[in-house]
Amino acid sequence: MEVAELENNGCRTTVPAVGLDGMAVRDVFEAAGGVLATVGAHDADGARYTLTYELGVTLTDRWYVTSIQAFPFRP
Protein backbone atom coordinates (compact mmCIF):
# COMPACT_ATOMS: atom_id res chain seq x y z
CA MET A 1 0.00 0.00 0.00
CA GLU A 2 1.32 3.44 -0.88
CA VAL A 3 1.13 6.21 1.71
CA ALA A 4 -0.72 8.29 -0.90
CA GLU A 5 -3.56 5.73 -0.75
CA LEU A 6 -4.00 6.48 2.95
CA GLU A 7 -4.07 10.21 2.22
CA ASN A 8 -6.64 9.71 -0.54
CA ASN A 9 -8.90 8.01 2.02
CA GLY A 10 -8.95 11.00 4.38
CA CYS A 11 -5.85 10.33 6.50
CA ARG A 12 -3.50 13.21 7.19
CA THR A 13 0.18 12.34 7.17
CA THR A 14 3.40 14.18 7.98
CA VAL A 15 6.74 13.31 6.48
CA PRO A 16 10.24 14.56 7.31
CA ALA A 17 11.23 17.98 5.92
CA VAL A 18 13.73 16.44 3.45
CA GLY A 19 11.61 15.80 0.35
CA LEU A 20 11.11 12.03 0.25
CA ASP A 21 9.78 10.00 -2.65
CA GLY A 22 8.76 6.43 -3.27
CA MET A 23 7.20 5.92 0.14
CA ALA A 24 5.83 2.38 0.41
CA VAL A 25 4.78 0.27 3.39
CA ARG A 26 7.28 -2.55 4.05
CA ASP A 27 6.03 -4.16 7.27
CA VAL A 28 3.08 -3.91 9.64
CA PHE A 29 3.21 -5.16 13.25
CA GLU A 30 0.58 -5.28 16.01
CA ALA A 31 1.10 -2.81 18.85
CA ALA A 32 -0.91 -1.84 21.92
CA GLY A 33 -3.93 0.09 20.64
CA GLY A 34 -2.98 -0.13 16.98
CA VAL A 35 -0.20 -1.17 14.64
CA LEU A 36 3.31 -0.08 13.69
CA ALA A 37 3.96 0.41 9.99
CA THR A 38 7.49 0.55 8.61
CA VAL A 39 7.82 2.66 5.47
CA GLY A 40 10.71 2.85 3.03
CA ALA A 41 11.51 6.06 1.12
CA HIS A 42 14.38 7.80 -0.65
CA ASP A 43 15.48 11.39 -1.17
CA ALA A 44 16.55 13.19 -4.36
CA ASP A 45 20.17 12.03 -3.85
CA GLY A 46 19.11 8.39 -3.61
CA ALA A 47 19.69 8.05 0.15
CA ARG A 48 17.27 5.51 1.57
CA TYR A 49 15.25 6.00 4.76
CA THR A 50 13.28 3.62 6.92
CA LEU A 51 10.49 5.34 8.87
CA THR A 52 8.09 3.85 11.40
CA TYR A 53 4.60 5.17 12.07
CA GLU A 54 2.12 4.21 14.76
CA LEU A 55 -1.34 3.73 13.24
CA GLY A 56 -4.56 3.91 15.21
CA VAL A 57 -7.03 1.45 13.69
CA THR A 58 -10.68 0.51 14.10
CA LEU A 59 -12.62 -2.46 12.81
CA THR A 60 -16.12 -1.96 11.44
CA ASP A 61 -16.92 -3.68 8.15
CA ARG A 62 -13.13 -3.73 7.58
CA TRP A 63 -10.00 -2.20 9.17
CA TYR A 64 -9.73 1.59 8.94
CA VAL A 65 -6.78 3.80 9.84
CA THR A 66 -7.96 6.46 12.30
CA SER A 67 -4.64 8.18 13.06
CA ILE A 68 -1.01 8.21 11.99
CA GLN A 69 1.83 9.36 14.24
CA ALA A 70 5.58 9.22 13.79
CA PHE A 71 7.09 6.57 16.05
CA PRO A 72 10.10 8.12 17.84
CA PHE A 73 13.45 6.42 17.40
CA ARG A 74 15.06 5.33 20.65
CA PRO A 75 18.58 3.89 20.30
What number of other Cβ atoms are within 10 A of residue 68's Cβ?
A: 19
**CB neighbours (10 Å) of residue 55?**
21
* pTM for the whole structure: 0.59
pLDDT at 75: 44
Res 11 pLDDT > 50 = yes
Cβ–Cβ under 8 Å, residues 16 and 43: no
> 33-70: per-residue pLDDT in tens?
788 888 888 888 888 888 888 888 888 998 888 888 87
- Per-residue confidence band for 10, with pLDDT thresholds at 50, 70 and 90: low
Q: Which residue has the higher pLDDT, 9 or 41?
A: 41
